[in-house]
């Protein structure tokens, strides 16, 4: 059952991450405990922050995905009145809490099962976890719609498109244009990129984000995931999805119509704007974020993405053209390659090689008809990626 006053009850999956912390900040700015009941907050390893968030927000339930941290969380919350749970069953419990609005901000495929569970009981899903759509695509969208919830994008690019799209004029929609900052290696040669460290790869020029998405911005795999995310969110053809490098990250994305008009959404790079929009949609809220100062904005630059230096964009197009389970396969292979890069078992450029090999190796995996097909393809892609990495 969803509470009648839409969005009064909230659950934040992944509250201890970059998006989670920003979400709690927005909730606080918009009235905090006076206006919202926090049903559940979840994290993984950061028990201190999770316990502090649960106490501060008055959450009913705090969950760590890491079962070995259960006792630590339990003792950190003793006497608080907050229920504590852990592991997969704990995440299920959080997803099942009676919240009308659920922020999906767990990183990676780990977010898919609890988000699907919240969607299946009809909650509105504020979607930061793009992996849900990259892996489960139409099945995920159907799960949300069939249960009667709304799917509201949080990724800044997709929030921008969501804000620019005129659904009454869908027949005239020509293209969507995703902007990309180009990351810290925008001007690097492939030779320079071959030897970069995790530390340099995670230092995004404009946005402050979690490790996975920061490295994904450097390799442009984040943009690759976003291209696939856009297909399912906005029901567009692959040839309607464009990517343009825009180093200042001021234009968050654009929509082009058949009359030649292009509608863009602009703002300072601050995720709280997209989070606030997802929370109060279709209304706008007042937020304490920096305002754009056009007089100080010297210039806005654009350049075509270089698919030789950043093969992730080409691989996303391949996945989109092949369709079926290729999104899930790309995503699982990329997560496995990312782990290997962070653990210094492979180099930065090897990530794309691993993903391409796994995708090419699994072209006989067709369509998914049930969610179990997604998990099976994900599992197999990881297994093959591990094999390629071990032999590289």
**Residues engaged in binding ligand NDP (CB under 6 A):** 14-20, 43-46, 65, 105-107, 110, 128-131, 155, 207, 209-213, 271
List residues bridging with 179 in a β-sheet. Answer: 244
As measured in angstroms, the least distance from the Cβ of 1 to ligand NDP is 26
Measured distance CA(351)–CA(260) in Å, rounded: 38
- Cβ count near 303 (within 10 Å): 13
As measured in angstroms, the least distance from the Cβ of 15 to ligand NDP is 6
**Assigned token pair, 222:** 């984040």
As measured in angstroms, the least distance from the Cβ of 170 to ligand NDP is 25
Which residue, 2 or 247, has its beta carbon nearer to ligand NDP? 247
As measured in angstroms, the least distance from the Cβ of 355 to ligand NDP is 16
Measured distance CA(33)–CA(1) in Å, rounded: 21
Which residue, 83 or 270, has its beta carbon nearer to ligand NDP? 270
Which residue, 126 or 173, has its beta carbon nearer to ligand NDP? 126
Which residue, 212 or 357, has its beta carbon nearer to ligand NDP? 212
As measured in angstroms, the least distance from the Cβ of 258 to ligand NDP is 30
- Cβ count near 236 (within 10 Å): 19
| 374 three-state secondary structure | helix
Q: What's phi and psi for 69, nearest 5 deg? A: -100, 5
Which residue, 2 or 110, has its beta carbon nearer to ligand NDP? 110
E strand residue ranges, 18-113: 37-43, 61-64, 83-86, 101-104
As measured in angstroms, the least distance from the Cβ of 38 to ligand NDP is 15
Measured distance CA(65)–CA(78) in Å, rounded: 19
Measured distance CA(157)–CA(327) in Å, rounded: 19
Which residue, 155 or 173, has its beta carbon nearer to ligand NDP? 155
As measured in angstroms, the least distance from the Cβ of 110 to ligand NDP is 4
CA separation, residue 201 to residues 18, 197, 256, 269, 352 (Å): 17, 6, 32, 19, 14
As measured in angstroms, the least distance from the Cβ of 295 to ligand NDP is 27
Q: Do the bridges between strand 9-13 and strand 37-43 make them parallel or antiparallel, or are there none, so unpaired?
A: parallel
Spell out the alpha helix ranges (H) of 148-284: 156-164, 190-194, 198-201, 211-219, 221-234, 271-280
- Given a contact cutoff of 8 angstroms between Cβ atoms, the answer to whether 173 and 236 are in contact is yes
Measured distance CA(35)–CA(9) in Å, rounded: 9
Q: Kindly state the DSSP code that residue 240 receives in the 8-state scheme.
A: G
Which residue, 158 or 357, has its beta carbon nearer to ligand NDP? 158
Which residue, 246 or 357, has its beta carbon nearer to ligand NDP? 246
CB-nearest residue to ligand NDP: 17
Which residue, 335 or 373, has its beta carbon nearer to ligand NDP? 335
As measured in angstroms, the least distance from the Cβ of 52 to ligand NDP is 12
């Amino acid at each position: 059952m969803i509470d009648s006053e839409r969005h009064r009850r909230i659950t934040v999956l992944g509250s201890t991450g970059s998006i989670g912390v920003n979400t709690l900040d927005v909730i606080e700015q918009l009235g905090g405990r006076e206006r919202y009941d926090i049903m559940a907050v979840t994290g993984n390893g950061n028990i201190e922050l999770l316990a502090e968030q649960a106490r501060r927000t008055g959450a009913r339930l705090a969950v760590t995905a890491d079962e070995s941290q259960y006792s630590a969380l339990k003792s950190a919350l003793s006497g608080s009145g907050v229920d504590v749970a852990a592991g997969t069953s704990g995440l299920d419990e959080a997803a099942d809490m009676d919240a009308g609005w659920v922020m999906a901000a767990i990183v990676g495929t780990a977010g898919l099962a609890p988000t699907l569970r919240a969607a299946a009981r009809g909650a509105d899903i504020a979607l930061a976890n793009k992996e849900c759509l990259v892996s489960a695509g139409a099945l995920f969208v159907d799960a949300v719609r069939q249960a009667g919830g709304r799917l509201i994008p949080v990724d800044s690019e997709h929030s921008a498109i969501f804000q620019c799209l005129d659904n009454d004029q869908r027949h005239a929609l020509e293209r969507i244009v995703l902007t990309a900052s180009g990351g810290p290696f925008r001007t690097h040669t492939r030779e320079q990129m071959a030897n970069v460290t995790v530390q340099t790869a995670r230092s995004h020029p404009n946005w402050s984000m979690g490790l996975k998405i920061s490295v994904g911005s450097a390799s442009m795999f984040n943009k690759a995931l976003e291209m696939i995310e856009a297909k399912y969110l906005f029901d567009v053809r692959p040839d309607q999805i464009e990517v343009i490098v825009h180093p200042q990250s001021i234009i968050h994305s654009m929509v082009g119509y058949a009359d030649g008009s292009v509608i863009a959404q602009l703002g300072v790079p601050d995720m709280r704007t997209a989070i606030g929009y997802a929370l109060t949609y279709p209304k706008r809220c007042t937020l304490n974020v920096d305002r754009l100062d056009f007089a100080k904005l010297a210039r806005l630059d654009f350049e075509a993405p270089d698919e030789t230096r950043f093969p992730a964009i080409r691989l996303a197009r391949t996945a989109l053209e092949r369709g079926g389970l290729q999104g899930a396969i790309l995503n699982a292979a990329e997560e496995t390659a990312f782990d290997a890069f962070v653990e210094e078992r492979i180099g930065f450029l090897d990530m794309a090689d691993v993903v391409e090999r796994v995708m090419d190796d699994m072209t006989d995996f067709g369509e998914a008809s049930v969610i179990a097909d997604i998990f099976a393809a994900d599992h197999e892609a990881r297994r093959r990626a591990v094999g390629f990495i071990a032999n590289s």
